[in-house]
Amino acid sequence: MSAADDVARSAERIAATGCRPRIAVLLGSGWRPFAERVSAATRLPYAQLPAFPELGVEGHAAELVLGRIGGHEVAVLAGRKHTYESGDASVMRGAIATLAACGAQVLVQTNAAGSLDGAIRPGALMLISDHLNIAQRSPLIGEPGNARFVDLRDAYDPVLRLQARALAERGGGALSEGVYAWILGPQFETPAEIRMLQQWGAQAVGMSTVPETILARRHRLRVLALSMITNMGCGLQDEPLSHAQTLAVAQAAQARAVPLLEAIVAGLEV
- pLDDT tens digits for range 43-58: 999 999 999 998 765 5
User: Is 115 one of the catalytic residues?
Assistant: no
User: Is 219 one of the catalytic residues?
Assistant: no
Q: Domains in the chain and their CATH numbers?
A: 3-267 (3.40.50.1580)
The model's pTM is 0.94
Catalytic pick among 104, 112, 204, 225: 112
Catalytic pick among 10, 11, 24, 29: 29
What's the angle, vertex CA 241, arms to CA 240 and CA 244, rounded to 5? 115
Q: What is the mean pLDDT of the chain?
A: 93
- Residues 173-204 have pLDDT tens digits of 789 999 999 999 999 999 999 999 999 999 99
215-223: average pLDDT: 98
Type of residue at 97: A
Catalytic pick among 61, 193, 196, 243: 243
Q: Which of 51-55, 108-112, 148-152, 226-230 is least confident?
A: 51-55
Helix (H) or strand (E) run with residue 205 in it: strand 204-206
> What pLDDT is stored for residue 244 in this prediction?
78
- Residues 150-170 have pLDDT tens digits of 999 999 999 999 999 999 999
Catalytic pick among 113, 204, 231, 250: 231
**Helix, strand, coil shares, percent, the chain, to 5:** 35, 25, 40
Asked if residues 110 and 142 have their Cβ atoms less than 8 Å apart, the reply is no
Smallest CA-to-CA distance from 164 within 252, 79, 257 is with 257
> What pLDDT is stored for residue 150 in this prediction?
97
* Cα-based distances in Å from 1 to 14, 29, 44: 18, 32, 21
Type of residue at 268: L
Q: Which residues contact 103 (CB under 8 A, 6 or more apart)?
A: 20, 21, 22
User: Is 112 one of the catalytic residues?
Assistant: yes
